[in-house]
Structure 1
């Protein structure tokens, strides 16, 4: 009897890793909706869910988002106070309807819009936020700002 990994490799069963990824996407969408990351008027479900990495250095934060197949003009970065929002759209290629056109037999690529917001842990310098898009990867450098200091208010 073949063991389970051999069955997955033979194609008789779906890859367990693909299934885990699908469950992770569903959980991300649910948590985004429950935590209020979805904005008014946006779709209730995101069509694709890119991977991202958020890290911190001494003087800045760095956000890296994988957006393969997304064109630079379809990526928007917005900063509002302590909230950073990424919007992207991956558009599906239209197939030619002629007889000699290629036929799509399988597609596991997700198309559609993506919106994700991050609440930053401390104030940032909004004027110095820098976003670069290279080779399908969005890199956002977010300089830390000065924390507001307590101010004594005189009572009249």
Structure 2
């Protein structure tokens, strides 16, 4: 599961990345992702060239998990050589607890999927009283 935070830059992937991805057999993930903040929004951009966004790309939210899935189908031809990746691709990303899942927006342009996740205002901290239990 990919966290929406900077990579530690270590040569060995996180265990969950290894399980979800293709490492050590190829790229860690067939869907390349970048994240950054733009004002009060978290922005997730994915390289998904050659897709029909209405047919091939699906985005779901379960709790704090943003799941981006896509499918690229092979055209029926007698090609002798192809380096394209076909099939289903899935990326699951942990969103911060301040994410507002009801107002997420997504658009697709020039092979790039952009997902904008608004952040709720973080409330002030609240102290929790600790009660003494008598035995």
Unaligned segments of structure 1, at least 5 residues? 1-26, 39-47, 96-102
In the alignment, is residue 63 of structure 1 matched against residue 48 of structure 2?
no
Bigger Rg, which one: 1
Question: Cα deviation per residue 1:97-140 (whole Å; 9 max; x = unaligned)?
Answer: xxxxxx41211111000111111233211111001112221110
Match of residue 150 from structure 1: 126
- Please report how far the alpha carbon of residue 152 of structure 1 lies from its aligned counterpart in structure 2 after TM superposition: 5.5
Question: Cα deviation per residue 1:60-108 (whole Å; 9 max; x = unaligned)?
Answer: 100110101222111011122321110000010012xxxxxxx412111
Unaligned segments of structure 2, at least 5 residues? 1-11, 22-28
Q: How does 1:97-136 map to 2 (within 5 A)?
A: 103-136=78-111
Q: Which runs of 4+ in 1 moved over 6 A?
A: none
In the alignment, is residue 89 of structure 1 matched against residue 71 of structure 2?
yes
Number of residues of Structure 1 aligned to a counterpart in Structure 2: 112
In the alignment, is residue 77 of structure 1 matched against residue 59 of structure 2?
yes
TM-score, length-scaled by structure 1: 0.60
**Does 75-84 or 143-152 show the bigger shift?**
143-152
TM-score, length-scaled by structure 2: 0.68
Q: CA RMSD in A?
A: 2.9
